[in-house]
Structure 1
Amino acid sequence: MGRISRQVGDAALFTGTMSLTQGAARFASVWWLVPPLSAAYHLGVLLAVLSGRVGLVLAVMLAEAGWIVVAAAQGRRDGGRERALAAAADEWGAEQPHLLAGLRGPARGHTLALGLCWITAPLQAAAYRTAWDQARQGITAVDLRAVYEAIRTERTATDTQTSDPGAAATATEQPTAGAAAPFPPAGAFLGFDPNTGGAVRANPRGACLVIGPPGSGKTDGVIAPSVATAPGPVVSTSIKWDVLAATAETRRGRGRAWAYDPGGDESALPEGVSAVHWSPLDSVYDWESALTVAARLRQALPDANDPRAAHWLDRAQDWAAVLLYAASLRGVEELMRWTRRPRAATEEIRAVLDANPGEDADMAADALAAVVDDTEDRERSGVESTMSRLWAVYKLPGGVRTAKGTNFSPAEFVKSAADTLYIAVPSERTHVYAPAVVALLEAIRFEQYRRYAELAKSDTPSSPVTFVLDEVANTAPIDVPAIASEAGGQRLHLVIALQDLAQARHRWGQDRGSGLLTIVGTKVLLPGIVDPGSLEAISLAIGDYQRGQITENISDDGRRSTSYGQTRERSIPPSRIARLPQGRVIVVEGARPHEITAARWHAEADRIMKAAK
């Protein structure tokens, strides 16, 4: 409200200044000033709309309404505008012989000003309509840079489609043949504006947090629409293939559809969806990358953020890095075998390192000796047990199958026009599958960051990569608190869904889990949230507002007195969140909450797709 108040004040100053200036010009009979002043007035209103100064525009509308009423009353009092102009013309003298001289005449000056008003009326009407729509949606500022990027991206896509077909075949950043034109850059699809019926979408330059228990409409209302309407490559994780079943046909029309089941079950995949074969080893090419991939595997473990487990995790991570580096010199089959009996494979691994001398091999050999040779048997057994959890999925025959015959490239995926990767992690196997899933997601994230850095050098526009991670704390436990604060700036739009904040606290710790509410730019609240801690934390994070308070007092002798003050109240109290009805969604952008109509992919997919374009 403070921002709107400042804009209303600006409007009063703007309108008052223009009114006084035009009045002075008329009073001094400097009629040639009236048209340019009128033009400046309308231009000011238009610029106010373009800069998102909604309060200013609405206040000017009210001022103009009052101005019209006063002018009408004055015209009636003076007996009509024509008579007033005729009297002024008589007083001025004969009609001027040409236009330039006529600018000095009151009749000509008024006529030109009136004509200018008619010319600018459509622009002014559009400006007011835009401002009114923005106000109803709670928008007080427009991201002009985002608008510019959207226009530039759309123009680039149009140029690509109308240019020489042969040129597109050699450009790595152009859409693949037959792919539909990309949607304008936009974030998660959240629902419909209850007043205009238009789409409400998250800001793609920030992360989006969706909170809703099972049955609240997460998948049908946010997850599936966000996957279907993502403007570029998108990754979807879920506990089952429901998102794939709902959106694969739509996404196949825009790019290639992939499905990754770390356990190797490919029987449920529909026609036209390719099964992913990939392993963490595909991201290893030297000792440093081996350490990086081992750290990715570690962060997927349930106790990854437990200080009491840090020692065992550190040693297990080092050992895993040795296996990864040695396997990068031999192949994935050896890695699968070594992970099942790492201590028995020690001498074989040393032989591989000796056969490939160099600084990287020396560091890997030292790390192996520190874990195997310099550690007591009991401690080494504990480290080995910890490391075995990193490779749990590769103890399954299906897991071994998915690791062989690599056919998926994270680097090519992020360069695609609009490819889709579906990942299913059954709830009973989350701990087994999580390391492989996290490793793949992190590989894609790394490639997107690298690609963004390359494109930024030449200011080349590109659609963002979108991660839509349902049940993120279980299915894809990447380091969300760290990634959410940086991903949007590198064209990675993060959409994460939780049942409540208790899941986040359990996964990333009390402080970091609760801190998600301040890190993400868009918060989406669905019906059915009952966890008291979540309700209170959400309400507090949204903040308070100042409400005017009027108090009337009656003294003993019957005298009345009125006092004015302000009181602070929650913008959204916990009770309102808890009582949110089905079919409604609360969206919080910054500290501005507003209620919208929920989308339903299964019932209105066509409407959603139309609204997204």
Structure 2
Amino acid sequence: MPTTTGSAGSSGWNTNAHGSARWMQPHEAAAVDLFSYNPRKPSGEVTSIILGQDSKGRPCFLNRQGHVLVLAPPRSGKGLGFVQPNLAAYLGSMVVTDPKGENAAVSWQYRRDVLKQNVIVLDPTGKLASYGVTPPIPTHGFNPLLAFDHADYAQVIDDIGLVADALLVVKEDSEEQHWRDGARQFLTALLTYVVFFEDRQNRNLLFVARLASQLETPHEDLFGALAFNDHPNPEMRDVIARAGAWWGLVNEKERASFVSVALRSLAWLNTPVWHDHLTRSDFHPYELKEGNTTLYIVCPFDKLEQYSPWFRLVLSSCILAIIRAPNRSPRPTLFMLDEYAATIGRLAILEQSIPFIEGVGGRYAMIFQYLSQMQTLWPDPAYHGIFASAGAHIFFNANDEYTSGYISRYVGKYSAPDMGPCGISYVARDRLMPDEVRCLPETDQIVFMRGYRPAWLSKLDVRSHRNYKDCLLANPVYAVQGRDVPALGDKSEAPLSKAAALLRREESGDLSVDKINATLEKLYPDKQMRYDDKIYGYDERCFNPATGETELVFRPVIHKDFLASLMFP
């Protein structure tokens, strides 16, 4: 039987010969459980994660295993459309990397008072206090070395090595690999000494920095104490002794280089903000496994590079707790890793845990701006493994050639009819061309779920969605900047419902465009509304702090057909 030749009406013509890409259909959405919110599944294997919303404003969820990967450029609504909706809806423990502190500011009270979570905010630089929020948002301290209290000896030795890895700022596989390895040995020895032989009040990273600088004791004496230690456990005594004996096997020149790299990695401790934060612990990472703790890790962008060891260390401690803690909540701990490339970079324990952490009660939502960020962090073939680990990929507002081309290829090709001089034939065409990806409305997003056709969804704006708009506080970042960013549309407003009726009547030919504009002017006397066959939007008067005047700001318009289906069910 022919598959690629013959007329369009011929028997046996295969119209999928060049591809069969298409969008997710309603029966497939039902099969993937897209519209069910299942926060308390008895199996405890999965808990609903918000992906977006459909054209009727119904929230769409990932109710299957797998991490979530979000790719969207700066200022495209990742926080409003993904991070904050899940902060309002996710009932399990969460670990949130929050550089600006805005996610903590808008959601901490709801998660504490309504979801009954124990909320911990780590904000050593006082970023949240700078917003002037009243009442002040409570902040906490965390000493990662106190997490070793009552831990198994063998595990402590392994975990000390992970702490040293998190502290080192020299990248692996670089020209400084040899010096990095030596600095790691040096820091591991210092951490071993502090954890096993110092009093509890000295068991912190500030004391480690003092030891590295020889402010407490010369290095020779410290390594000698390790080499000839009196630990009560003979096996541990031997392991600790070898950590001390290493120093004597290194020549003087290399010692200086190793210490130099270690001191560079500890330089972030040379500021007073850490003295209170690192000398106390207001929570233990093991509490995350109980299912009722939300941890916000706040560090402003201008301090990210300087304080990245602390950021990585807190995250490493939490991941280790998920892996090690014996108890397990029915709901997995969700790691909301916002601005992944800027805040985390390469972190061995995170990368190694991606394949198996779901099996021990953890889950990752990794947020990047561009595919190129992922490829910079993980060159081929590691990049493909990280990408494939996600059970859902969310793309929106792609505006670079590489990402838009990737989405186009990911959606796939279909067999498109083509009229030629000899009749109709079928040719391969991308279901969504790269230029079409770049021109998608700002409110659209493409979601891929493992084993299913891609879904064309819309972003869920937490400020206006009927399910979540009353859950979160106002964003203090906007108040500080003197601006008010309007939501994408509130479905509960009566005037908008009337506008929806206008749209439907115009579609049926019952109303003219002029009549619609006249009615919109009555509905919105304080706004300049306009409507035509292609666009629907409005200008809004906003205060400009730069000029001190009120100016007209035209909001991005939305295609009429899209608005009619999306904003008005």
TM-score range, shorter chain: 0.5 to 0.7
Distance 1:301 1:531, change over 3 A: farther
Distance 1:487 1:287, change over 3 A: closer
For 1:523, what is the secondary structure of its paired residue? Answer: strand
Distance 1:596 1:287, change over 3 A: same
Distance 1:583 1:391, change over 3 A: same
Q: Partner amino acid for 1:471?
A: E
Distance 1:149 1:222, change over 3 A: closer
Instruction: Find 1:414's aligned residue among 273, 289, 295.
Output: 289
For structure 2, list consecutive stretches of 5 or more residues without a partner in the other structure: 1-22, 472-490, 492-569
Which residue number corresponds to residue 603 of structure 1? Answer: 464
Which residue number corresponds to residue 75 of structure 1? Answer: none
1:19-418 superposed matches below 5 A: 135-136=25-26, 138-139=28-29, 141-142=31-32, 150-152=40-42, 186-194=47-55, 196-203=56-63, 205-253=65-113, 254=115, 255-263=117-125, 267=129, 271=135, 273-284=137-148, 285=151, 286=153, 288-299=155-166, 301=168, 303-329=170-196, 330=198, 331=200, 333=202, 335=204, 336-342=206-212, 344=214, 345=217, 346=219, 347-348=221-222, 350-351=224-225, 354-356=229-231, 358-370=234-246, 372-417=247-292
**What is the alpha-carbon distance in structure 2 between the residues aligned to residue 301 and residue 307 of structure 1?**
13
**What is the alpha-carbon distance in structure 1 between the residues aligned to residue 340 and residue 466 of structure 2?**
25
Which residue number corresponds to residue 36 of structure 1? Answer: none
**What is the alpha-carbon distance in structure 2 between the residues aligned to residue 517 and residue 270 of structure 1?**
41
Which residue number corresponds to residue 121 of structure 1? Answer: none
**What is the alpha-carbon distance in structure 2 between the residues aligned to residue 227 and residue 137 of structure 1?**
29
**What is the alpha-carbon distance in structure 2 between the residues aligned to residue 322 and residue 265 of structure 1?**
34
TM-score (norm 2): 0.67
**What is the alpha-carbon distance in structure 1 between the residues aligned to residue 271 and residue 466 of structure 2?**
38
Which residue number corresponds to residue 526 of structure 1? Answer: 396
Residue deviations 1:204-234 (CA, integer Å, cap 9, x gap): 5211111112210011111111122112111
| Higher Cα radius of gyration | 1
Residues 297 and 390 in structure 1, CA contact (< 8 A), matched pair in contact too: no
Q: Partner amino acid for 2:94?
A: V
Instruction: Find 2:369's aligned residue among 496, 499, 503.
Output: 499
Residue deviations 1:550-608 (CA, integer Å, cap 9, x gap): 65544xxxxxxx5655x444444332332222122221213622221212223337446
1:529-548 superposed matches below 5 A: 529-540=398-409, 542=410, 544-547=412-415
**What is the alpha-carbon distance in structure 2 between the residues aligned to residue 548 and residue 572 of structure 1?**
12
**What is the alpha-carbon distance in structure 1 between the residues aligned to residue 203 and residue 41 of structure 2?**
51
Which residue number corresponds to residue 423 of structure 1? Answer: 297
Which residue number corresponds to residue 54 of structure 1? Answer: none
Distance 1:415 1:150, change over 3 A: closer
For 1:521, what is the secondary structure of its paired residue? Answer: strand
Aligned residues: 430
Which residue number corresponds to residue 343 of structure 2? Answer: 475
**What is the alpha-carbon distance in structure 1 between the residues aligned to residue 359 and residue 291 of structure 2?**
20
Which structure has more helix as a fraction of its residues? Answer: 1
Q: Partner amino acid for 2:401?
A: P
Residues 100 and 299 in structure 2, CA contact (< 8 A), matched pair in contact too: yes
For 1:603, what is the secondary structure of its paired residue? Answer: coil
For 1:354, what is the secondary structure of its paired residue? Answer: coil
Which residue number corresponds to residue 3 of structure 2? Answer: none
For 2:464, what is the secondary structure of its paired residue? Answer: helix
**What is the alpha-carbon distance in structure 2 between the residues aligned to residue 247 and residue 398 of structure 1?**
25
1:592 and 2:453 matched: yes
Cα RMSD, aligned residues only:
3.5
For structure 1, list consecutive stretches of 5 or more residues without a partner in the other structure: 1-132, 155-183, 456-460, 555-561
Matched-pair identity in %: 21
**What is the alpha-carbon distance in structure 2 between the residues aligned to residue 406 and residue 510 of structure 1?**
40
Instruction: Find 2:331's aligned residue among 454, 463, 467.
Output: 463
Which of structures 1 and 2 has the larger relative contact order (alpha carbons within 8 angstroms, sep 6+)?
2
Q: Partner amino acid for 1:366?
A: R
Distance 1:296 1:138, change over 3 A: farther
Deviation at 1:186, TM superposition (A): 3.2
Deviation at 1:397, TM superposition (A): 1.9
Which residue number corresponds to residue 8 of structure 2? Answer: none
**What is the alpha-carbon distance in structure 1 between the residues aligned to residue 275 and residue 323 of structure 2?**
29
Residue deviations 1:505-528 (CA, integer Å, cap 9, x gap): 23333543354332212111121x
